[in-house]
Structure 1
Amino acid sequence: MPFSLSPAITYSCMLCRNLRFLATFSTSCALNTLDYFKEADAHVSDYPELQRRMQSYAFSGDFNNALCTLNLMKNFDGKPTVNDCNALLYSYLKSKNACWQELVEMYIGMKRFGPPPNASTFNTLLNGMVLGNLEHAVFIVEEMCRSDFVPSFTSLSKMLKMAIKFGNLVDGLTVFEYMLRYDYHPTEPTLNKFISLLCQVGMVSEAWFVLSVLLRKGYVYNVFCYNPILWALCKSGRSYVALQLFCLMKKKGCVHNVCSYTALIYGFCREGLQDDAFQWLDLMQSDGCKPNVITYTIIVKFLFDNGKFEEAMDFVGKMERDKCQPDLLTSNVILRELCRKGRLGDISKFIQVMGQKGLYPDSYTYAALCGGLLKTGKTGIAHELLLDVFSSGFTVDAAVYNIYLRCLCQEHKSREALSLLKSMMEAGFKPNNVSYNTILIGFCKEKNINEAFELLYSFEWDANGPNAVSFNAILSTACRLGNSAIIQRILNHMRYEDVKLSVFSLTCLVRYVCRSGNFSECMKLVESMMQSSPTPTVVTFNLLLHNLCKNRLLGTAYRIFRSVRNTEFLPDVTSYNILIHASLREHNHLLRGKFWDILSLLQVMVVEGFQPDEVTAEILNQAVSSGSVKRFPGVVKFWSG
């Protein structure tokens, strides 16, 4: 079974937590508190008076005086009793300023010096801590179980709810395991929230563990319990695992709803499995479950992303025929695609239709609209539109501001974008890494590499600091400009920040080293990429082949070509075109048996499944026109054939 996942929390983890507590409580503060159990004051009142005084101190939150008074009871035989200690704990918990650590220290004092804690001690501590300190409450539960006392369902249920409320999922899983030990199970609303929260933070295996344990015990829950797991699996690229869970729950008699089917359709679309997605759309409808606006929007976006514009618009029409009106999210998806295709007339009409349907633009609308315009090169239109939005006083989010910064940078106004960002920050705007990277890239495009490098240090990045995009922007520009000083500094900075070189950054370095003519170093760099991550792409190899051929090192280029052929780094049509063009240009008619000639290259190219393209045709036509291949009728015959 694909769901045989082990729980994230084990009892060894609990043991570690206990050791942590014991270490914490072995401080000088704890020892000072425990000393009260060893010493007694000489001034002793009558026992009832001491009880009254102790509880009064405890109710007022004066723990030290309450504990001191408790110790005065040692002057009476058999005192203080465990009931006296419990009364102190209870009264102190009723105060407004109870300190959880002092309570645990007193419990440790009782355990070491007496009177030994009883069930009432544990219940008093647990009932008080469950409302305020989950970590200490878990410690008390662990101690309670070691002493062979059983925590109540109510206490453990409250602890689980508190873990959910504060997002403390590690302790929440520990509490859940204790509930299992005593054959308790959470209420359905609590379980639904717990599983949902686990899925939200990526703890899908733990969520499945929680559900599967209860299923094995014979409990069957409603669809709202396992739908979050379905969605989490589909969002993480495990749609077929989600499908198995879907079928398992169906076998157990669960009735799926539109959310269940939509999760699978989303997962299959996300993984590019169109046939599976549409098959489940049909199954969904045949099972009497009507797709909703989310289902349709997922499919429409998938079709747009795969270049099937007309088919996507047909689904929009199908939505309306099924009386499932597109919402603002659907409209934003459509609007974004219209912008990407540059259909300005349709955009204007569509916005009017949105207004007629009561769908008024939000930040996502403007982000979709202006982002789409930018991608199609309509920077000026996007710029003017955003100025109108800002002047109207419409509240927008960081994504829209970032698009505006990008507009300025694409119009070669990076300094203006930087100045605007600073003034926005003074007005309370909190930029993110996208904002900073946008301006960095703008400065790099304008070849202001030194200023870009200075900005790398001056920006107030988030906790993770600059990312690979930031470094790659500067590194690629420095390589293009041949600025070795900046290249070395950025590589040192990346090493210091523990940012790994990507294929893109390594390819930039290959280009830079090739331009310097140091081909031995360049080939070492490529070899190191082949032997470790990141793996080079065919673009990297073609870049190396091109530069070798450009520098009349055709023999070396052939050797590299042959060494990577039929490997995972298989060349493409461009690779063949580079070698054919270089051979013809240099009139390097190499002998068969030592290297391949042009005809061999063409034949192998076809055998490997690569059809000559327009570039190949242009290269050979020019060669025929110039007479370069007159002595090689086999090439002419091959091409004309």
Structure 2
Amino acid sequence: MFCRLFKNSFSKTKNIHYNKKFTFSSSTALSLSTSQTHFTKPSNFSSSDPNTSKILERLYLYRNNPTLAHSYFTQLNQHKQHGFCYNIQTYVAIIKIMCYWNWIRKLDSLFIDIIAHSKQDPSFKINDLFDSLFDDVVDVNQNHYLLRAFNGFVKACVSRNMFDEAIDFLSRRSLILPNVLSFNFLINRLVIHDRIDTALFLFDQYKSFGLIFNRYTYAIVIKARCKKGDLEQAFCVFDEMKEVGVDPDSYCYAALIEGLCNNNRSDLGYGVLQDCRTRSVPLDVYAYTVVIRGFCNEMELDKAESVFSEMEKLGLVPDVYIYCALVHGYCKSRNLDKALSIHDSMLSRGIETNCVIVSCILHCLDEMGRASEVVATFEKIKESGLYLDGVAYNIVFYSLCKLGKLDEAVGMLEELKSMHINLDIIHYTTLINGYCLKEKLDAAYSIFKEMEEQGFKPDVVTYNVLAIGMSRNHRYCETIDLLSYMDSQAVKPNSTTHKIIIEGLCSLGKVEEAEAHFNGLKDKSVEIYSAMVNSYCKMNCLREAYDLFQDMKTRGIKPDVFAYKVILEGLLNGRQEKIALDLYNEMSLKGMTPGATLNRRIQKAIMMQFHQ
């Protein structure tokens, strides 16, 4: 049977030297069990694998030179073609050396390799490895150096987002407590990945096990409580810290402030910030950043600027993230002039802008219908040499399509490819829409086919965009064929699709087919009703249009402005002024207006009724 390599294997001397320079610290040596502080060569190496015995002998020789031991162990990988494979015995040997010499980073990397090995070889069990590693260790918790291996494996699992494996490993060895750093790493990553209940359960469990937490642990719990929306419980964490004698620091308060602001309670977050300032708790710029960003997200821009001014009076220098929050807030409120003024102020202070701020400004211009300015601003910034990411390029791409500059838009697609930014369905759909607006339907259809050839499956929005383009150009037969193809591809239609089908069939004179399609729909939206009403009006079937409009209201579907406009125009065109005026009055009582052109026609009809 294999004789344990490291039993009584380290000397009991206080200082151990190797390479004539390195001295093992006395504090570390004193923390180790005296029975395992020195390598002594076992009387016999035995193993079913002769390679294993040779490796263990060599590692024994390198026991006081971890650099050489690690180098040798790593080079063994090159002998895999000769049938060599790392096993539990060889892993245990190198782990003990690395743990003893406190080579934590190398140990973390080794455990990642071990995890990969266990996935490739189901017969290799990590729990067996740790059984062998901890064999003859009475209590790992008593400052034993092998506790580093326990914590290292937990960290390795967490770094690979293998949370269930890490938790299972901890539960199997519940008598061993992880160090607080490894524990914090685990629950923090759980919170980041929205496994909040699991993180809080582990916190309560290990509190009952006697694990001593630090400020960072409690800050993570505060963050978890806030992320879950338990704001009252987040405040209670501070009481718990007081009970166990842990003083909250600025990081804990910043976690609470950020959590409150992220829950749209920036007023409370600001209150905590002011309380901290009153009690001289040192808070950095980040705490002010989250409050300003919170107020901006809640569109409380005056309050955001007030906090900004207060911060400056205290001598804190605003950074790019604060300016970014303010620019974003004013862009969101469509106050572009104010956003640009703040941006200019930032630049005048020597703070460089970034692609996030630029994208905010470009998006605001686009939302305000100023597509040409989007393109011009983008070109100016691009010439300045500032790095612009895919978000900025996408905004400009959409603006070029809106402007009908399709050749330039296609060129930008090539730029995106050169930046290794993958094109998606939205890019293709936007380009298809651009060609449809320019009435270049053949080009639009070519892009549609190219999209499929590139492996993208068009969604309902893509089909609708192309179908609307065809309908507007009176290519109704092709529209119906396209939507039939959509059905064959198992793409589920939406209200817009049904609207296109109904109007397309009616335009082809297939009213009965349009009615059959309409009646076959279980869920009819106001948009679908409006499409059928509009089709009846165009076919001069005013009685059917009016009855259907009333049926819509009977079924509890409230007509919107467009629905009223459709029926009003149909009735006025059919010289049914009296019925039209009744519906106009009904519309007015609901606070709706039909628009200037239709309103003039209504007023004219009222005058005609008055003179009759």
1:379 match: 371
What's the secondary structure of 1:627's corresponding residue?
helix
1:140 match: 125
What's the secondary structure of 2:113's corresponding residue?
coil
TM alignment of 1:620-635, pairs within 5 A: 620-627=602-609
TM alignment of 1:507-586, pairs within 5 A: 507-519=499-511, 521-522=513-514, 530-531=522-523, 537-565=525-553, 569-576=557-564, 578-579=566-567, 582-583=570-571, 586=574
Please give the alpha-carbon distance, in whole angstroms, between the structure 1 residues aligned to 2:114 and 2:456: 30
Among residues 425, 430, 446, which one is paired with 2:421 in the alignment? Answer: 430
CA spacing shift, 1:143–1:349, aligned 2, 3 Å = closer
TM alignment of 1:264-303, pairs within 5 A: 264-268=260-264, 276-279=265-268, 281-282=270-271, 285-286=274-275, 291-303=287-299
How far is 1:402 from its partner? 2.3
How far is 1:53 from its partner? 9.2
What's the secondary structure of 2:559's corresponding residue?
coil
Matched, 1:161 2:150: no
What's the secondary structure of 2:263's corresponding residue?
helix
2:593 match: 613
TM alignment of 1:75-154, pairs within 5 A: 95-97=76-78, 130=111, 132-134=113-115, 140-141=125-126, 154=148
How far is 1:461 from its partner? 9.9
Please give the alpha-carbon distance, in whole angstroms, between the structure 1 residues aligned to 2:386 and 2:436: 32
1:413 match: 405
> Which deviations, in whole Å up to 9, do the C-alpha atoms of 1:32-80 show, x marking residues without a partner?
xxxxxxxxxxxxxxx989979924785399xxxxxxxxxxxxxxxxxxx
How far is 1:364 from its partner? 1.8
How far is 1:396 from its partner? 1.9
CA spacing shift, 1:278–1:522, aligned 2, 3 Å = farther
How far is 1:397 from its partner? 1.5
Contact 1:161 1:190 in 2 (8 A): yes
Please give the alpha-carbon distance, in whole angstroms, between the structure 2 residues aligned to 1:173 and 1:416: 53
Q: Which amino acid aligns with 1:441?
A: N
1:32 match: none
> TM-score scaled to structure 1, two decimals?
0.63
CA spacing shift, 1:219–1:481, aligned 2, 3 Å = farther
Among residues 474, 485, 488, which one is paired with 2:478 in the alignment? Answer: 485
TM alignment of 1:204-219, pairs within 5 A: 204-214=196-206
**Greater shift in the superposed pair: 352-361 or 309-318:** 309-318
> Which deviations, in whole Å up to 9, do the C-alpha atoms of 1:300-340 show, x marking residues without a partner?
2431xxxx666665565455456555432343344456667
Please give the alpha-carbon distance, in whole angstroms, between the structure 1 residues aligned to 2:488 and 2:315: 57
Please give the alpha-carbon distance, in whole angstroms, between the structure 1 residues aligned to 2:85 and 2:196: 34
Please give the alpha-carbon distance, in whole angstroms, between the structure 1 residues aligned to 2:45 and 2:262: 71
**Greater shift in the superposed pair: 163-172 or 149-158:** 149-158
> Which deviations, in whole Å up to 9, do the C-alpha atoms of 1:168-191 show, x marking residues without a partner?
334334324434xx2444333223
Q: Which amino acid aligns with 1:432?
A: L
Q: Percent identity?
A: 14
CA spacing shift, 1:56–1:604, aligned 2, 3 Å = closer
Matched, 1:262 2:262: no
Among residues 240, 254, 266, which one is paired with 1:252 in the alignment? Answer: 240
1:390 match: 382
List gaps (5 residues or longer) in structure 2: 1-42, 58-71, 97-106, 141-146, 243-247
Contact 1:338 1:344 in 2 (8 A): yes
Please give the alpha-carbon distance, in whole angstroms, between the structure 2 residues aligned to 1:184 and 1:51: 30
How far is 1:142 from its partner? 5.3
TM alignment of 1:37-48, pairs within 5 A: none
What's the secondary structure of 2:125's corresponding residue?
helix
Matched, 1:171 2:165: yes
Please give the alpha-carbon distance, in whole angstroms, between the structure 2 residues aligned to 1:350 and 1:580: 48
CA spacing shift, 1:143–1:56, aligned 2, 3 Å = closer
What's the secondary structure of 1:167's corresponding residue?
coil
> Which deviations, in whole Å up to 9, do the C-alpha atoms of 1:342-362 show, x marking residues without a partner?
877656644432122222122
CA spacing shift, 1:286–1:199, aligned 2, 3 Å = same
Q: Which amino acid aligns with 2:557?
A: F
Please give the alpha-carbon distance, in whole angstroms, between the structure 2 residues aligned to 1:249 and 1:124: 43
Q: Which amino acid aligns with 1:378?
A: R
Please give the alpha-carbon distance, in whole angstroms, between the structure 2 residues aligned to 1:215 and 1:122: 32
What's the secondary structure of 2:353's corresponding residue?
coil
Contact 2:436 2:469 in 1 (8 A): yes
> Which deviations, in whole Å up to 9, do the C-alpha atoms of 1:486-539 show, x marking residues without a partner?
66446646864x6544444444445444544545554565566654xxxx6534
Q: Which amino acid aligns with 1:572?
A: D
How far is 1:106 from its partner? 8.2
Please give the alpha-carbon distance, in whole angstroms, between the structure 1 residues aligned to 2:297 and 2:239: 32
Q: Which amino acid aligns with 1:266?
A: N
How far is 1:134 from its partner? 1.6
Structure showing greater relative contact order (alpha-carbon pairs closer than 8 Å, 6 or more residues apart): 1
> Which deviations, in whole Å up to 9, do the C-alpha atoms of 1:434-456 show, x marking residues without a partner?
54444343333323333333334
CA spacing shift, 1:222–1:50, aligned 2, 3 Å = closer
Q: Alignment length, in residue pairs?
A: 512
What's the secondary structure of 2:290's corresponding residue?
helix
> TM-score scaled to structure 2, two decimals?
0.66
What's the secondary structure of 1:292's corresponding residue?
helix
What's the secondary structure of 2:369's corresponding residue?
coil
CA spacing shift, 1:605–1:300, aligned 2, 3 Å = same
Please give the alpha-carbon distance, in whole angstroms, between the structure 2 residues aligned to 1:612 and 1:422: 46
TM alignment of 1:282-361, pairs within 5 A: 282=271, 285-286=274-275, 291-303=287-299, 313=305, 316-317=308-309, 320-321=312-313, 325-335=317-327, 349-361=341-353
Contact 2:537 2:570 in 1 (8 A): yes
List gaps (5 residues or longer) in structure 1: 1-46, 62-90, 108-119, 269-275, 591-595, 631-641
What's the secondary structure of 1:132's corresponding residue?
helix
CA spacing shift, 1:93–1:582, aligned 2, 3 Å = closer
Matched, 1:441 2:423: no
CA spacing shift, 1:618–1:293, aligned 2, 3 Å = same
1:114 match: none
Q: Which amino acid aligns with 1:417?
A: A
CA spacing shift, 1:541–1:121, aligned 2, 3 Å = same
Contact 1:589 1:597 in 2 (8 A): yes
Contact 1:583 1:598 in 2 (8 A): no
Please give the alpha-carbon distance, in whole angstroms, between the structure 2 residues aligned to 1:261 and 1:623: 61
**Greater shift in the superposed pair: 354-363 or 518-527:** 518-527
Contact 1:340 1:373 in 2 (8 A): no
How far is 1:226 from its partner? 6.6
How far is 1:414 from its partner? 0.8
